[in-house]
Structures are given as C-alpha cells and as structure tokens.
Amino acid sequence: MKSLTIDNLDFELMIDHDQIQKRIRLIGIDLNMRYQDKHPVFIGVLNGCFMFMSDLMKQVVIPSELSFVKLASYSGTEQGRLSELIGVGMDLKGRDIIIVEDIIDSGHSLKYTMDALERLEVASISVCALLMKPANLQVTFDNIMYIGFEIDEEFVVGYGLDYNGQCRNLPNIYQHVPSGS
C-alpha cells in the first residue's frame, strides 16, 4: 500500500518494511558486538514497541533477557501526566538495560522511564528507538545509542505506531498528509 485513509485522515508511505528490516539488522549487529559479554536486559515500552522489539530480538544472538513495561497516566484533569511504570517484573539491580522504544518525540516519557529504572539501581541504561523527532525533543539525553530513523514532525502510523488504536499491525510506516497537500 502506498497510501491509506484512517478516520478521514490521509497517510502516504514513508518507510517501507524492507528499509526497516535493513536498519534493524545493522542495529542488531552493533548490539551483539557492544554487549557480547554483558548479558543485557531489553526493556520494551508498550504498546508501540512490540513489532520493533520482536524484529530486533530476532537479530540479537548474545545471551540476554527481555521484559516489557507500560507507562500509566493519570486520568481526568491530569491526563497526559505520567504516574507509574508498570510491569518490570524482575530484579534489575546491577544490570545493563537497553530501553526499546517505538518513537522518541518530546522525550518526556523516555525520561520518566529512565528515571524509574535508575531508581532500581541498574548498572547502565542505553536507548534504542525505531524513530526519533529531533526537532520535538524537550529533554537532553546522552545515552540514546541507536536510532532507526530520524524524522521531522510528521504524524506517523504503522509498524507498531497507531492512530486511535488503529494501524499498529501495518508492516510499513506511513506519514500523515495534511489536507490540500
């Protein structure tokens, strides 16, 4: 599919599945070399990371573990403020952590995740994200080690990213095309 429409919003193909897989293979090769003697723990941030994490872990051949977390938000008037990191489910003290994200936008949720993991006394934290919007970053990071693709401020769907819960299952990434473009 070169384009699609969701709830009267038009999207066009931005990054196809083959490009995504090539980039993931390169990231996997580097992770295997960098962490070959460290037995890292990959922490995927749900829901968006599931496709990226699945394909990434197929490229990681070193001994490692994985888990998933989910960020919960306050409801009501505080909506959007992060309140809790749910689901680590294992002792991470002294472990090397690789956070796997679908997209880094403002950086606030990533910062919250990192702060929560640091309180667990981990040895190190690195970040691996499929997409990043550098122009939108409002937080400074020194441990983003892997970025699949840098994009502008486009709204994107597919390959784990959704619009109103739709399109996470698509194998490609599509960008929103404003009306009249």
pLDDT per residue, tens digit, the chain (181 aa), is: 899 999 999 999 999 999 999 999 999 999 999 999 999 999 999 999 999 999 999 999 999 999 999 876 544 333 344 456 677 788 999 999 999 999 999 999 999 899 989 999 999 999 999 999 999 999 999 999 999 999 999 999 999 999 988 999 999 999 999 876 5
* pLDDT at residue 72, rounded to an integer: 63
* pLDDT at residue 179, rounded to an integer: 77
The answer to whether 147 and 101 have CB atoms below 8 angstroms apart is no
Provide the token pair at 102.
Answer: 């679908």
* pLDDT at residue 180, rounded to an integer: 63
* pLDDT at residue 78, rounded to an integer: 39
Q: Give the domains, in start order, of the chain with CATH numbers.
A: 3-22+38-72+81-177 (3.40.50.2020)
SS3 66: strand
Is the Cα dihedral 121, 146, 103, 171 positive or negative? negative
Say whether 10 is catalytic.
no
Q: Which of 18, 37, 96, 105 is catalytic?
A: 105
> Can you give the pTM of this predicted structure?
0.91
Quick one: 2 exposed, middle or buried, by C-beta within 10 A (0-12, 13-18, 19+)? Answer: exposed
